[in-house]
Structures are given as C-alpha cells and as structure tokens.
Amino acid sequence: MLVARYYNNKDVRLEEMPRPAIGPGELLVKTMASGICGTDVMEWYRTQKGPRILGHEIAGDILESKSDQYTAGQRVFVSHHVPCYECKYCLAGNHTACETLHKGNYDPGGYSEYIRIPEINVQHGVYILPDHVSHEQGTIIEPLACVLRGQRVIDVKKGQTVLILGSGVSGLMNIQAAKAKGAYVIATDIDDYHMQKAKEFGADRVMHAAKIDNIKADKIIICTGAGKAIEQAFQCIDKKGTILLFAIPNKNIDIPTVDVWRNEITITSSYGAAGDDLQESLNAIASGQINVNPLITHKLPFKQIQQGFDLVSQAKQSLKVILTFS
C-alpha cells in the first residue's frame, strides 16, 4: 500500500509498505479522505519525532472487521487518540490528560491507503457517518471537536465578548462555535484573505492584528503561534477574563504576573478531544449547526500530498486541505 512519510515540510515522501494485518477486535479501514492538520506543519515540533507517517483526521470505509461491533462496508470516522476511561484523569472527566490517549494511535497513520484500528480505538474511537455526511466532512470531526472542547473548558457563554486571535481554520471554527453559543465575536488576522473569511464565517467585528486597540474581552482564544498574539491577549483580556492557548508558540511565553494577579486573569490550554467532544462534533456537522463545507478549499489526490503540505504551511489562499483516495 502507499503511505506518505514526513521528514520535514518540504520533504514528504511517498513510499510503499505492506498492508497491516488485523487481530482480534480490530478493524482494517480503507482511507477515503484525510485532512492535513495545522499541527502537521509545525516543523519545529514534528521533525523532533520524525521521520514518521502522520495524519489523524481520517474518514473511510471498513474493509475488514474482527469486531462484533462493526461490519465491512460501514462508513466511519476514526479517532487516533482514545482514553482508557479507567485512570484518575478519566474518572475525573479529564480524558485528554490520560496517558493512554497520549500514547495510542492507529497504524501506521492517516496518510496511508489503509489503517489498522487497534481494539481500544475500536471500542472508544469509531463513529458511524450518517449517509448525508461525506467522507470529506468526516475529516473535520476531530478538529471541530478540539474547538468545542476548548470552548467548554473556558465556558464560552451567551452575551460574552470573545476575541479570537488568528482566523485560520481553527479560528474560523471557533468563530462559528462561539456565535452558536450567542457570544459577540471579534476576530483578527494579518492576512486580507483570512480577515474576509472571518467576516463570512460570522464574526461581528474583524480587525487587522496590527490595529487592535481599546478591546476588552471576557474570553480570548489564541489560534496562532505568533508570539505577538500572546502579548495582545494580555493587553485585551478583561478583569476576571480567561485566555485559552488553543495554538501554541514555539517558545515559552512571558506572563505579566502582576496584571494576572491583580485582575484575576486565568490562563489555560486545551489539548485534543475525547469521546463526548467527538460525538458533539459529529452531531453539530450532521445537523448543520456548524457548516464545515466552506472550510474545505482544496481537495487533492493523495499522491499530491507534498502540494497539500505546501499549501497548508504557506497559509495563504487556503483553509482546509483534504487528501482524497480512490
């Protein structure tokens, strides 16, 4: 089977390897669509663990099943990370802190024609796609789930002012999710294309990131790794406000500790998504509450994955880039 192995953003190599064999309780899924995540082009992070087969936003068809739960032919989204539901973190509802979630994955990765789904992922991470949800839409279940979880962590509510720094794919999903909760949403970016998209996705106010002034937000969601965005977040957060590190910079940040202390500011982060988040995401897409179709700007054949990585890493006239498999 054909796979794509990541060495760096400019070196994603197509290679052949044997199709994985499945064991008891496992599934073999034929990949039909695979999204390129923004984290996959965080070169400073990915090259430390490379070379490897990345990809974690997949939807496909079950080709072979050794599980009583699923049968061949079913259309599915599969989560690469699943918690154990037994450790102290899971029992406290903090599933994304679970060590099992952080260590697990499917085999060999989403940039592959076929993937083996381990038994624990079969038990906790397979979701049947409704007939009207396409494979391409299915690839967005995981990234949208991360957005929904992040906004739940910081408790976005109706009537709040939410400032979203960065209007790439994650920023646009955060705009939609916050608007669905009834928040007043301000969005920023440095790129005209992304600022226009922020307007189209429903932001109440859109500003160039270099021209932010006189804003006080109840919640700030950082959707860019730019260090300047961290500084702006501390300038724009209101008293008792919360800053969410949804995206992260490639170095440690400076915190104005006196301001944080005097104004009782909360700084938090969110990582990944768990079962309830993924089900909520699938429901939001299936019901049309969140319209993910406008996010998909490029669909490329799997063999053009290097072009896809170029588009995502340049972050210009593109949003969600999806690889398709025949």
Instruction: Render 150-206 in DSSP notation, one character per residue.
Output: HHHHTT--TT-EEEEE--SHHHHHHHHHHHHTT-EEEEEESSHHHHHHHHHTT-SEE
Residue 276 lies in a domain: no
CATH number assigned to the domain comprising residue 53:
3.90.180.10
pLDDT attached to residue 43: 79
Q: Give the count of beta carbons closer than 10 Å to the beta carbon of residue 19.
A: 15
Q: pLDDT tens digit string along 26-35?
A: 999 999 999 9
15 shares a domain with 79: yes
Q: How many domains does the chain have?
A: 2
Residues with Cβ within 8 Å of 22's Cβ and at least 6 positions away in sequence, in order, are: 28, 64, 66, 116, 117
Instruction: State the pLDDT confidence band at 321, using cuts at 50, 70 and 90.
Output: very high
Residue 285 lies in a domain: no
Residue 134 lies in a domain: yes
Q: pLDDT tens digit string along 194-217?
A: 999 999 999 999 999 999 988 999
Q: Which domain holds residue 218?
A: 147-269
3-class DSSP assignment, residue 326? coil
65 shares a domain with 14: yes
92 shares a domain with 194: no
Would the pLDDT of 249 be above 90? no
118 shares a domain with 29: yes
Q: Give the torsion through C-alpha atoms of 270, 272, 277, 278, to 10 deg.
A: 160
103 shares a domain with 23: yes
Would the pLDDT of 316 be above 90? no
Residue 70 lies in a domain: yes
Residue 287 lies in a domain: no
Q: pLDDT tens digit string along 53-87?
A: 999 999 999 999 999 999 999 999 999 999 999 99
215 shares a domain with 132: no
Residue 11 lies in a domain: yes
Separation CA 321–CA 242 (nearest Å): 31
Residue 253 lies in a domain: yes
Instruction: State the pLDDT confidence band at 222, using cuts at 50, 70 and 90.
Output: very high
229 shares a domain with 251: yes
Would the pLDDT of 315 be above 90? no
Residue 278 lies in a domain: no
**Which amino acid is it at 282?**
L
3-class DSSP assignment, residue 317? coil
CATH number assigned to the domain comprising residue 248:
3.40.50.720
Contacts 24+ apart (CB under 8 A), 258-264: 259/234, 260/234, 263/237, 263/238, 263/239, 264/239, 264/240
Give the mean pLDDT of the chain. Answer: 95
